[in-house]
Amino acid sequence: MAEFSKEMKIVLIINMIVAVVYGIMYLFLPEAIYTLNEAPYFDPHFWRLFGGVLIAMGIPVLLGIIKGDWDYIKLFFLYAIIGLIIMALVNLTSNMYVTRSATNLVFHWLDTIVMIVLVVFNTFFYLREEKK
């Protein structure tokens, strides 16, 4: 059993918090989020589906933290990095084909920045943990 570092545990907790917060917002409050950020499209089914996926991504992180085993969580962690990269690319490219209000642009870029920051931190700590 390869235990992960204290820094990796902090990164995992941050990932779990972000996944659960965004997941709860999209799963349980899609109408409020739609109204608040003036989104150009609204399909509550897909918004709730996305929220459920985010919560589902947060649960293995919690299990990994509880178990404390790097070998147990590293494949999922790599999957999360790839998922974040794809979501960030989709967000970046959607600027070309979606007309957005000023309010929606702020929320859109905030989401994109959060994803990019998570990708950078996750990749850095993943590579660092793999070297051990």
* Nearest one of 61, 57, 84 to 72, comparing CA atoms: 61
Read off the pLDDT of residues 73-110 as tens digits, 9 standing for 90 and up. 888 889 889 999 999 999 999 988 999 999 999 999 99
Read off the pLDDT of residues 23-73 as tens digits, 9 standing for 90 and up. 999 999 999 999 999 999 899 999 999 999 999 988 988 888 888 888 888
Token pair 């972000």: residue: 18
For residue 104 the two structure tokens come to 């929606």
- Dist. CA 120–CA 97, nearest whole Å: 26
Could you tell me the pLDDT band of residue 132, with boundaries at 50, 70 and 90?
Answer: confident
- Dist. CA 7–CA 16, nearest whole Å: 14
- Dist. CA 44–CA 49, nearest whole Å: 8
Of the two residues 121 and 2, the one the predictor is more confident about is 121
